[in-house]
Amino acid sequence: MRTLIMIINQLRNSGPNRVMLDIAANIDRAKIRPVVISLMPDDTVRPIAHKFKEIGVEIYRFNYNFYSLELNTFNVAKRLEKFIVENYDNPVVQAHGYHPTLLTARMHIPHTVTIHCISKEDFIKSRGPIIGNYMVYRFARNLKKQKYPVVISSYMANYYRNICKNNIQLIYNGVSYSPLQSDISQLKQKLAISPNKKIIIVTGGLNERKNNIHTILQLKQSGLDNFLCVFLGIGPQEQFLKDSVGNDNRFRFDGYRTNINEYLAIADLYVSSSLSEGLPLAVLEAVCSGVPCLLSNIPPHKEIVEKIDCQGVDTFSISTNELAENLSFFLNHKWSRRNISERARNVFSSKKMGAQYTELVENIR
C-alpha cells in the first residue's frame, strides 16, 4: 500500500482543501492511505479539519508562517522530507498550492503537484504586483522540476504547457453535490427569505478577483425588483461591496456559511462575474445541484459550459451589459434542474476524480 501525503499551506474551507477532501474520500483506500500535512496553523473562521477526521484521514500540523516558508524553503523541505521518510511507508507526496510546490521540488521522495490556479492572474491579484510577480517567477522555476504535474482545466493545461516541459495530466475537479431533496418553502423560511422572491446566489471570497462589484452593478441596472441576491463568503472587499449596495434590500450578505447546499436548493440562479479561475468548485457545486448559471466568459467557465452542454448554463461578457440584459429571461424561464445536475455530475464526479488520482499515485516512481 502507498501513502499519499497531501501537503497544503493551511487547513481551511477553500477550493484546494475541498479538492483534497474529495480525493481522500474517493481514492481507492484499499491501495492508498491518504494523510494530510498542513504547514500553517488552521483557519479558525473557516474550519475543515473535522471533515478529514470524519473520513479517517490523519492530519499532521506544522507551525510555519508565510515568510519562513518563503525565505527558508530548502531547510523546511529537508525537515519535511525527513519527517515523511521516518513516519510513512512507501510515500508519494502531493503538493497543493504555491509553497507546497516549492517544497516538493526539493524532495527526493516521489511526488506530484496539483495546480489550482493561473499563477500570473491569481498571485498578482492576491499579493500585488511586486510580491505577486516574484511568486509567479519562483513558482514557474519549481514547476519545471516536477515530473507529474496535474492541472484541473484545459485552459490551465495550455497555460502551463510552456512552463512544464514534462507531461501534464488533466484531472477535472470533482464534487459530490447533488440536488437537496427538501421542501423549498421550509428552507426559505429557515433562511429568512421571502417565499415570493427570485433568489440569486453568489458564493466565494469577497475579493477583487471574484469581481462581485460587476454583479451588483449589473443587477441594479437590470431594472428588476422581485429578486434577492445573497452573497455567501467573506473577504477584503466586503465593506466596499456593502457600501456599493447601500440600503438596497435586493442584496444581502450572509457571510461564511457551511450550509451552501440549502442555499443552492432554493436558488433560481447562480451568478459568477469572476475575472480568473482554475476550475471553480463553487460553480461545479452549483451545476451539480442543478442550479441554472450565468458565468463570466473566462476560459474555465466556458469550458464548464461546453462540457455540460445543456440549456440553463451560459456565459456573459463582463465588458458589456449582457448580464443585466439576460437576467430576466434566466430568472423566469423554467429550466430543467434535473438535466443540469445529471449532465454536470457525468463530467465533474468526485468518484471519477478519485479513480484518476488512484491510477496516478500508483504509477508515480
- Write out residues in the chain with pLDDT < 50, as ranges: none
Q: What is the pLDDT of residue 166?
A: 67
Question: Which residues fall within 8 angstroms of residue 326, CB to CB, at 6 or more apart?
Answer: 294, 314, 316
pTM: 0.92
Q: Give the per-residue pLDDT at 126.
A: 86
Are 323 and 214 in contact, with CB atoms under 8 Å apart?
yes
Cβ distance 236 to 207 under 8 Å? yes
What is residue 165's predicted lDDT score, i.e. its pLDDT?
A: 73
Summarize pLDDT for 103-122 with one digit per residue, the tens: 999 999 999 999 999 999 99
Q: Helix, strand, or coil here: 340?
A: helix
- Position 4, amino acid: L
| Contact by Cβ (8 Å): 151, 143 | no
Rg (CA), the chain: 21
Instruction: Please state the length of the chain.
Output: 365
Reference 39, options 66, 16, 58; nearest CA is 66
Cα 144 to Cα 165: distance, rounded to the nearest angstrom: 7
What was the pLDDT predicted at 43? 95
End-to-end CA distance of the chain: 14
Tell me which residue has cell 507546497: 100
